[in-house]
Structure formats: C-alpha cells, structure tokens
C-alpha cells in the first residue's frame, strides 16, 4: 500500500501524536495518536502494509488481523478526508 500526502497537507508531530492539516476549499484537520502516527510514517516512508502490521503487532503484542484492520481504517479515513492518496497494492 503506497500512500502520499495530498498537495497542501501538513503533518506536524506534537508530543508523540500528530495533526494533519489540509488546506483549500475542502480543508480538513485530523489528530492521530502515536500508534497511528507510527503506521502513517512507515507507510509514507514506503514500507508495505504487511511490514507495518508485523512491526506494530510485535511492538504492542496485538493480533495481526486487528492491526491490519486498524491500518485499513486509518488509510480509508484519511483518503476520505482528502489528506492522503493511496494505492491499494501491497
């Protein structure tokens, strides 16, 4: 899953969390927790969703199916908010 921030979107880390701010006619503002930030940064850096799932599952001792669902939900929400673009191939 390759993702990119949309043009005009700023990702700002604040105290282990982050905000994503979009500009323009359909401006959006999202605040994400540290785990979502880690997921997002790894995907933005080019890691596959599978690599991110494995890493997060190990770090937090969480079921891989749940982590994959969380990543899918995060990406879908950010795409819907027009903050990122995503290619679903992995």
pLDDT in tens, 5-57: 999 999 999 898 999 999 877 788 999 999 999 999 999 999 999 999 999 99
Tell me how long the chain is: 90
Q: H or E segment at 55?
A: helix 49-60
Please state the pTM of the whole predicted model.
Answer: 0.89
> Residue 18 is part of a domain; what is its CATH number?
1.10.10.1150
The answer to whether 68 and 51 have CB atoms below 8 angstroms apart is no
Q: What is the pLDDT of residue 13?
A: 94
* Residue 1 scores a pLDDT above 80: no
Number of domains in the chain: 1
Report the DSSP beta bridge partners of residue 19: 12, 31
Strands (DSSP E) along 1-90, which ranges? Answer: 2-5, 10-14, 17-21, 29-32, 84-87
Would 59 be classed as within a structural domain?
Answer: yes
88 part of a folded domain: no
List beta partners, residue 41.
none
């Amino acid at each position: 899953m390759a993702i990119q921030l949309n043009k005009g979107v700023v990702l700002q880390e604040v105290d282990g969390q982050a905000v994503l701010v979009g500009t323009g006619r359909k401006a959006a503002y999202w605040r994400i927790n540290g785990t979502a930030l880690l997921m997002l940064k790894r995907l933005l850096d080019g890691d596959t969703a599978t690599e991110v799932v494995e890493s997060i599952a190990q770090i937090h001792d969480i079921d891989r199916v749940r982590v994959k669902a969380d990543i899918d939900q995060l990406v879908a929400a950010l795409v819907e908010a027009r903050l990122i673009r995503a290619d679903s191939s992995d």
